[in-house]
Amino acid sequence: MNDMRYIERATDMNETKITARDVHVFYGDSEAIKGVDVDIQARAVTAFIGPSGCGKSTFLRTINRMNDTIPSCRVTGGITLDGEDIYDKRVDVVQLRQKIGMVFQKPNPFPKSIYDNIAYGPRIHGLTKNKAEMDEIIEKSLRRAAIWDEVKDRLQAPGTGLSGGQQQRLCIARAIATSPEVLLMDEPCSALDPIATAQVEELIDELRQEYTVVIVTHSMQQAARVSQKTAFFHLGHLVEYGDTSDIFTNPKDQRTESYISGKIG
């Protein structure tokens, strides 16, 4: 693993954005997450790694309550955002998801123009008063997602006509257009080629200046490249959580070591 480029670890380790305490997730009778405690740090990239079916995506989706859409899914335990329980009865998921944006595994732009893709979020949340403000948000989001130069001349072209990597960056732009505080990314690069992956990874690294980013990834190299914190999931348990450099160079748990050295997974 000599090719890994460990990025700056100099983050102030004191501010916690999201906490999870004894979180269990059930699909019907089967338990997908078996008691997870984790503190996710603000303005840092946290990577969830682990073999397929270990529950990392499930856990990610409990953070913005996307699991609510699955009827058989049940969540117990407590998850807080800035100290507020997101599963509290008073919480409206719409408001929660405006604060916690999500980027999915497969790029899923709406079959509309690039402009409308970005504009949809601000529009439903009423973030703009006029077209000029909307144009500003759109330019800002596209610039931040590092795709502005590629699409600025064809904002009215369909978003589905872009290449895979561009589509994914468009989806990231769409997610940050609503000014979220947290960005959840569910294997955002798994459908992309290496060049597009590199672009998206670079983007993720920049995003941590302003956002708290949680990324689920299959690629340990990716986790090592982009994240400051890494959590290793195995069979529904959070096995180990800590600084990315520690996890990869000095894992404490036997299972983590087996996984990162390629013995299980």
- Positions touching other proteins (CB under 8 A) are 64, 66, 69, 71, 94-98, 101-104, 106, 108-111, 120-121, 124-125, 160, 171, 174-175, 178
CA distance 199 to 170: 12
If the CB atoms of residues 162 and 247 are measured against other proteins, the closer one turns out to be: 162
Q: How far is the CB of 101 from other proteins (least distance, A)?
A: 7
If the CB atoms of residues 46 and 141 are measured against other proteins, the closer one turns out to be: 141
Contact partners, residue 258, CB within 8 Å, separation at least 6? 264
Q: How far is the CB of 19 from other proteins (least distance, A)?
A: 22
Q: How far is the CB of 85 from other proteins (least distance, A)?
A: 19
The edge-to-edge listing of strands for the beta sheet with 237-243 is: 100-103, 182-186, 212-216, 45-49, 229-234, 237-243
If the CB atoms of residues 71 and 83 are measured against other proteins, the closer one turns out to be: 71
Q: How far is the CB of 108 from other proteins (least distance, A)?
A: 4
Type of residue found at 100: I
If the CB atoms of residues 46 and 98 are measured against other proteins, the closer one turns out to be: 98
Contact present, 189 and 222 (Cβ < 8 Å): yes
If the CB atoms of residues 53 and 111 are measured against other proteins, the closer one turns out to be: 111
Task: Give the pairing of strands 16-27 and 182-186.
Answer: unpaired
Contact present, 214 and 60 (Cβ < 8 Å): yes
Task: Give the pairing of strands 229-234 and 182-186.
Answer: unpaired
Contact present, 217 and 201 (Cβ < 8 Å): no
Q: How far is the CB of 249 from other proteins (least distance, A)?
A: 34
